Amino acid sequence: MVSEMEITFPILKNAASRSSVQEESKQKDSKASEEVTERFFNRNSITDEKTRNTKNHQNKTDLLRKRDTKQTERNRKARQLIAKVVEKEEESKRISKEKIATQKLKDDRLEEDNKGKFL
């Protein structure tokens, strides 16, 4: 005859092994969910950092672009002023050359008139 212990022991053994297997699977599930959560938050923090870096880069780029635009505008205005000054200088040189040429013509005519009078 088989005792009750021998009959119940395998059942208890199976039940114990099932419960330990269930606990192990629960632990694995909780570890997996913790890993997923950790990855999610790490990814979000990395994404936030990337977003911050991107925004900082955009801000720096915008500031540089504005500075370059202002500098370009200043350079353009300076070139325009220089062009005006050069144009005025050329105009004054042209006028002085015309005055010199006109004066020379007058002197030549006077000289011819004076030669004609003395001859």
Residue-range domain boundaries for the chain: 70-119
| Structure token digits, residue 79 | 């070139």
State mean pLDDT over 64-91: 94
Output the CA angle 72-74-56, nearest 5 degrees: 50
* Segment 84-101, tens digit of pLDDT: 999 999 999 999 999 999
Q: Please, what is the average pLDDT of the chain?
A: 81
What is the rounded CA–CA span in Å between residue 37 and residue 93?
82
pTM above 0.75, yes or no: no
Instruction: Report pLDDT for 8.
Output: 54
Least confident of 9-13, 29-33, 106-110: 9-13
DSSP three-state, residue 1: coil
| pLDDT confidence tier of residue 13, bands split at 50, 70 and 90 | low
What is the rounded CA–CA span in Å between residue 17 and residue 24?
10
Instruction: Report pLDDT for 118.
Output: 63
| pLDDT confidence tier of residue 1, bands split at 50, 70 and 90 | very low
DSSP-assigned letter for residue 2 = -
Per cent of the chain over pLDDT 70 is 77
Instruction: Report pLDDT for 33.
Output: 81
